[in-house]
Structure 1
Amino acid sequence: MGRDHSSVLGQDQEAAIGVVGGGTMGASIASQSLLSGLRTTVIEARPDAASRAREHIIATLGRARSRGFTDISAEVVDQNLAVVVDYERLEGASVVIESVPEIVELKRDVLQRIRLVVGDEVPIGSNTSAIAIGSLQQGVAGAENIGGLHFFNPVPASSLIEIVVGPSTNEATVAVFRALAERLDKEAIIVKDAPGFATSRLGVALGLEAIRMFEDGVASAADIDQAMVLGYKHPVGPLRLTDLVGLDVRLAIARYLEQTLGDRFAPPELLISMVEAGHLGKKSGQGFFGW
C-alpha cells in the first residue's frame, strides 16, 4: 500500500513540497508553502536562476513580515527552504508542483524528470493556466497521480486553487490536492479537464475583449478597468490584470485557446505587437500601464 500523502500534509514535521520552476508563479507558490509551515524545495534550471528565485522568495516573505501579515522568521525560512538545480532533492516530497512555462513538451519533460525521482505514486500538480491535463499525462508514468493545480498570482493574496481532473486522474490524487489547498488556506474548486478550464477560459475572454476595446479607442485603459472594478466589483481591471499576469503569458494562452476552442480566442493585433515590442506588463516595466 502506498503512502497516504493527504494525511502527511496535515503533519507539520513530515510535510514537504516540491516546486519545479522558480519564476514568478513558482516563487509565489513556494512563498505560500513556507507560510503554511511546509518544507519547500524549489528546482530551477540554472544556478543563477536558483539564486534569483531564492532572493525573490525571501524578499516576498520579508515584505509580508514587515507588514504584519506573518511572523515567520528568517531563520525558519532558511531552515525550510531549498532552491537547487538537482531534481534528486525532490525525494521525499508529499506533493510536487510543476510551474514551468506554458509549453506542452517542456511540461511533459519536466513531469517525466520528476517521476524518475519521486516514483509513480507521488501526486504531481501542474500549475498550468490553460493546457489540457490529458495532453500532459500522455506518456508519463503514474498518470493517474497527475492533475491540475492552478494557482493565482500573487498566491499569498489569492484565496483560490483550481483543481483540474484529467482523464486519468484518480480520486486519491484529488483528495491530496484538496488537503494541500486546505493546508495552504485556500478554497478549491474542482473542474473537468478542458482547455482553459473555468478561470482562464472566462478570464482570457474578458481580457482579450478589453484589449480590443482599447485598440478600437472605446475608452482609456484606466476607464475600461474602472468599468469592471466599479460596475462589476472586480478587484482589479482586466488590463491591469493582463499587466500583472504578463502580456506574453496571456498571448501564449490565447493562442492555445484559439487552436483548441476556435477564433473567438484569436489574440488582438495590439497584444501581439506589444509583446513583440517587449512591453510585457509589470515584469518589463511597461504594458497597458507604466510600472
Structure 2
Amino acid sequence: MSSIANFATLIVNDPDFSRFAIKPRDALWSQLFTIPCGFAFTSFVGIIVSSSSTVIYKEPIWNPLELLTRFLDDGGSGTRAGVFFIASAFALAQLGTNIGESPALLISMHLASLSLTPSSCEFRQRRDRLDGFVAAIYKHSSWLMCPWNLLSSSNNFTTYLSSYSVFLSSIAGVLICDYYFVRKGYLQIKDLYSARKSGPYFYNFGINWRAYAAYIAGILINVVGFAGAIGRKVPVGAQYIYNLNFFCGFIVASASYYLLCRFSPVPATSTHWLEVGENITDISLAYEDSYSYDEESAGEPAKALEADETGLPNRKLHEA
C-alpha cells in the first residue's frame, strides 16, 4: 500500500498534465507502463536491499543513506568509491525532483485556482504571478511540518505514505466513477468553463453534494484503521481494512457516488459510452447552445442524452 500511496498524488493530479495531450492514447500508454512498472521496480529494489541488510548486519536497514554509512564503516577504498557514485546518483535524483516538482506544483495550483474563478483568466499575467508567489511560499514553508520526524523511523515513514491513500483514494474513486460510469464519457465542453446557474455543472449553489458525501464515506472506511496505525487500539477488522486502504477507499467512494447519482441523478449524462473521439473535429456538435440544464429550478430528475448512429447526441431526452 505504501507504493500505491506514493503515486496516489499522480493518479489525482494526472488530468492537470494529460489534458495537454493531443490524443487520448498519447497519455494512456506512456503512463500505463511507466508508473506501475517504475514504482513496482523501485519497491522491489527496496525490499531486496532491506532483506539483504538483515542478513549482513543482523537488522533491517530501510534508509539507504544509513546503509551507505554502514558500507563506509566496513569497507576499503573501493567501497568508498562505490558509495561516492551511489550518493552522487541520490543527489542528482533529488535535484531533478526539486526541479521537476516546482513547475508541477505551479501548474496544479494555477489550474485549481483557475477552475474556481474561470472568468479571471483574462488577467493572465497577474494570475500567473500570484500563483507563482503562492506556490513558492507553499514550497519553502514545508519545513514547518517538521519533515525530519517522518524519517525518524521506517514505521513513521510508511504510516505517512499510507495516510495519502486515506484521502486521495476517495477523490480518485469519485472522479473515475463520475466519468466512466455516471456520465459514460459525455461532457458538455463549453459548460465546463461556465459559471452560469443554469449550467449542468453548477449543481446546488455550485456544489456537487453527492461527490462530497461519497468522499467522506471513502474516508470513514479507513479512518479507524488509520487511528490504529498511529498507535491507537482498534479492532482487528479495522486493521485488515486499513491494510488495503487505497482499494477500500476507492471502492467505497465509487459505489457511494454511483448510488447517490442513481438516487439523485446529475444532469448532462449519457445512457451509453459517448466520449468525444479523435474523429470529431468540431466538439461543439456534441451539444447545442440553446439546451441547458437547471437542477435547482427544474426540480425534476436529471435527464440523459441519447446518441444516434453517428455517435452524437440527438437531443432526445429521457429519464436516466
Q: Which has the higher strand share?
A: 1
TM (norm. structure 2) is: 0.26
TM (norm. structure 1) is: 0.28
Larger Rg: 2
